[in-house]
Chain A
C-alpha cells in the first residue's frame, strides 16, 4: 500500500470513526443517567441531517444546522417526557422494546417526509473535489470539519460534565438517583436533559457527516449498532474511551475495504461487537468489577 492511499484510508477511517464515537457518547449520556440503552440513538443522527437539508431552502447553512440541532433536541426531550418519564421502574426488556418501537416510528415518519432518496448537505467549504494538503497528503476539508466539530463536542461535553454545576448534578444523578433526589436535584429534569444532549450531539454529527456519508431515512439502525459497539468497546458509560474505540472501529473498517467486500462492511462491526460481548463485556478499557456492579 502506497503512503498516499494509506493516508486516504486513515482519514476516511478517522472521519467515520469519530461519528461512531459521537453516537457511542450519545448512548453513554442516556445510559449514565437512566440505565437505558436508547435504541433510537441512530435516528437522532438521521434527523439532524434530514432537518438541516430541508431548512436549507429558507436559511443559510450554519443557521439550518443550528435549527436542526435544536429541533432534534426538542424531539429528544419529547421522547423522554412522553414515553419514558412516567414509567415506574420499567424492566429492561420493556425499555428495549419501547426504544426500538420509537426508532421504527421515527424512521417511518422520516420515510414519509423525505422519501427513500438519499440526501446530502453541501460541503461546508468548497465541493467534493476540493482538497487541502496536510503534510503532503490531500484531504477533503469536510474531513477536517468533521474531526474539528466532533472534537469540540467531546471537549465541551467533558467540560460540561466536570466543570459546570449542571453537569455535576447530572453526574450525581447518574451515580445514585435516589441520593441525588435527596440532595434536592430534580432527577426527572436531568433525565430529560440527557435525552436532549444526546439528541443534540447526534444531530450535529449527522449534519457535519452528511456531505461525505449522505443521509438516508434508514441509516439509524446501522449507526446504532456501530455506536453501541463503540460504547461497549470503551466500557459502557466511559465517554473518552468510547472516542478512542470509535476511532479504532472507523480505521479498522476503512482499511478492511481492501480485503472485505463493501456489502459485508457492517458485518465487521457486528463481529467485533459479538466478540467483545462474549470476551470482555466490560469493554477494552473498563474494569470487570465495576461492570459487575451495574445492573443487567
Chain B
C-alpha cells in the first residue's frame, strides 16, 4: 500500500516536471499560468474530496472558505495602516517585524501587513469560521446540510459584495507578491506573484503544494482516522456504536478542508494579484462539488485529475460562454449515469479483474 501510494506521488512529481520541460521545449510556456491556477483550485477540490467522499458530508459553501482566505490576504496586504500608525497595536506589530513598508506614487510611506502574517491570519480565520459554523451545521444531514452550507456560502458572497473593505463589486486588486524565500545566499528570491519572469517558479510553487497536499491526504485516508471517516460514510450510527466520535471527526474534516480551501485562496490571490466576488459565488462552490463528483467522490487521484483537467479547460476558455452550463451539465450527467465518477466506471473494473489474483492490496473503499 505504502509503496503504491509513494509511486503515485512520485509519478505525479515526474509528470509535473515533464510538463514544464515540454512547455519549455515547445515554446508554450503560456500554458503554465493556467496550470498554476488549476493547481490552486485543485487544492480546494482535494480538501472537499476528503469531506464529501470519505466523511460523506456535502458542502455547497466551499467557495466561501476560499474567499475568506483570498480576500483577507488581499485586504490585509493592500490596506494602508499609516493612519493607525500611532496606535499601540500597530507599533507593536511593526516592532515585531510583522508589517512591511511601501511607497505610493507620491513617495509617501505606506504600511502593510507582511504577507506571511496575512496568510496565517487568513487561514486561521477560515479554520475558525469552519469551527464555529461546523458545530451546528454538521449536525444536519441530507437536504438540510446542503441548504445550510449553501446559505453559509451566500452570506460570505453577500459580505464581500457589500463591504467597502473588500472592494464591493470590483474586488481587490494590486495585491503585492508573497515572498516565500529571500536573502538566502545562493538562492534566488522565491515569491508567489503573477510576474511574467516568475512563471516557471510559480508553477513549481503551486504544484509542490498540490503534491504535498495529495500526499498528506492519502496518508490520512490510509490511517486510523481515514478508516473512521470511511466508516462514518458507511453508516454513521454504526460508527458511533463502535466508539467513533462521529461529530468530532466530521468537524475536524470540515476544518481541514476549509484550511485547504483558504490556503488555495491566499496563494491564488497573490498569484493573480487580486480577487473578485465571483470567487465567492455559489457557482464556484457548485463547481468544486461537481469536480469531486466527476472524480469519483471517494477518490483523491480522481478528484485531482478532474480538478486539473476541468479547471484548465475552463481557464483556457474552451467552454466559452457556456462555462457554468458545462459544469451544470457535467453534474447532472455524472449523477445520472455514473454516480461513482467516470474514472470508476469501466477502467476500475478492468483493473480489478486484472489484479484479482493479487487483489489483497486493492482497497475496497474505492469500489463502493
Contact = CB atoms under 8 A, between A and B. Distances in A.
Interface stretch (B183-191, B263-271, B324-332): B324-332
B154 interface: yes
B162 A261 contact: yes
Contacts of A102: 328, 332
Contacts of B158: 263-264, 266-267
Given A105-B329, A266-B154, A277 B140 contact: yes
B147 interface: yes
A264 B136 CA distance: 22
B143 interface: yes
Contacts of B331: 97-98, 100-101, 104
Given A108-B328, A270-B151, A278-B139, A94 B146 contact: no
Contacts of B159: 264, 267
A96 interface: yes
B335 A94 contact: yes
A109 interface: yes
Interface in A91-128: 91-94, 96-98, 100-105, 107-109, 112
Interface string B142-157: 1110111011101100
B328 A104 contact: yes
Contacts of A281: 140, 144
Contact of A274 (B141, B148, B282): B148
A104 B325 contact: yes
A150 to B, nearest CB: 23
Contacts of A278: 136, 139-140
A101 B332 contact: yes
Given A94-B335, A278-B139, A281-B140, A270 B327 contact: no
Contacts of B324: 104, 107-108
A103 B310 CA distance: 20
A274 B148 CA distance: 6
A283 to B, nearest CB: 12
Interface in A249-296: 261, 263-264, 266-267, 270-271, 273-274, 277-278, 281, 296
Contacts of A134: none
Nearest to A82: B336
Contact of A225 (B144, B151, B329): B151
Interface residues of B, number: 41
B155 A267 contact: yes
Nearest to A100: B286
Contacts of B332: 83, 98, 101-102, 105
Contacts of B143: 37, 92, 96, 296
Nearest to B57: A93
A101 B139 CA distance: 25
Contact of B147 (A261, A263, A277): A277
Contact of A263 (B137, B148, B151, B162): B162
B322 interface: yes
A16 to B, nearest CB: 17
A221 interface: yes
A100 B146 CA distance: 10
B127 interface: no
A277 B144 contact: yes
Contacts of B136: 274, 277-278
A97 B147 contact: no
Nearest to B52: A93
A123 to B, nearest CB: 30
A87 interface: yes
A225 B146 CA distance: 11
Contact of A109 (B60, B141, B147, B325): B325
Contacts of B60: 100
Contacts of A232: 144, 147
B162 A112 contact: no
23 contacts: A92-B141, A97-B331, A98-B335, A100-B146, A100-B328, A101-B290, A101-B330, A102-B328, A104-B283, A104-B328, A104-B331, A105-B325, A105-B328, A108-B322, A112-B321, A225-B154, A263-B158, A263-B161, A264-B158, A266-B158, A267-B158, A270-B151, A277-B147
Interface of B: 58, 60, 136-137, 139-144, 146-148, 150-152, 154-155, 158-159, 161-162, 282-283, 286, 289-290, 293, 321-322, 324-325, 327-332, 335-336, 339
Interface of A: 37, 39, 83, 87, 91-94, 96-98, 100-105, 107-109, 112, 221-222, 225, 228, 232, 261, 263-264, 266-267, 270-271, 273-274, 277-278, 281, 296
The 8 closest A-B pairs by CB, nearest first: A104-B328, A263-B162, A101-B331, A108-B325, A101-B332, A270-B151, A92-B142, A37-B143
Given A101-B332, A232-B147, A270-B154, 19 more contacts: A37-B146, A37-B147, A94-B339, A97-B293, A98-B335, A98-B336, A104-B324, A105-B329, A112-B321, A112-B322, A225-B150, A225-B151, A228-B147, A263-B161, A266-B158, A273-B148, A277-B140, A277-B144, A278-B136
